[in-house]
Structure 1
Amino acid sequence: MALNKIRRLDKNSFGITLPKDDLRVEGLLDENGELKEEHHVHIRHVGDGEWTLERIEEIET
């Protein structure tokens, strides 16, 4: 099991890094290992110490 550290991003938020290999498997990286485009995820707190991530294809405006 890979462990990822929670890091402070700014005064009001924190983040967790996603492994590049996992992003590559999802097809989100180009041949240079850079993000192909902007992506959004919905994060849900589902229980004590447990969250889920879901990539959102389209954002309704």
Structure 2
Amino acid sequence: MALNKLRKLDQNSAGVTLPKDDLRLEGLLDEAGEIAGEHHVHIRHVDDGKWTLELVEEINA
């Protein structure tokens, strides 16, 4: 099981890094290893200490 550190981003938020290998498997990186395009992720708290992340394909404004 890989462990990722929770990091402070600013006064109101924190973040967790996602491994580039996992992003590559999802087709989210270009040939240079950079994020290709703009993507949004829905993060849902499901239980004590548990969250889910879901890539959102389309955002309806």
Instruction: Give the TM-score, by structure 2 length.
Output: 0.98
Q: Does residue 9 of structure 1 match 2:6?
A: no
> What root-mean-square deviation, in Å, do the aligned CA atoms of Structure 1 and Structure 2 show?
0.4
Structure 1 spans left out of the alignment, 5+ residues: none
Structure 2 spans left out of the alignment, 5+ residues: none
Q: Which runs of 4+ in 1 moved over 6 A?
A: none
Code of the residue aligned with 2:35 in structure 1: it is L
Tell me the matched-pair count. Answer: 61
Deviation at 1:16, TM superposition (A): 0.3
Q: Does residue 42 of structure 1 match 2:45?
A: no
Instruction: Give the TM-score, by structure 1 length.
Output: 0.98
Deviation at 1:31, TM superposition (A): 0.5
Deviation at 1:24, TM superposition (A): 0.1
Q: Percent identity?
A: 74
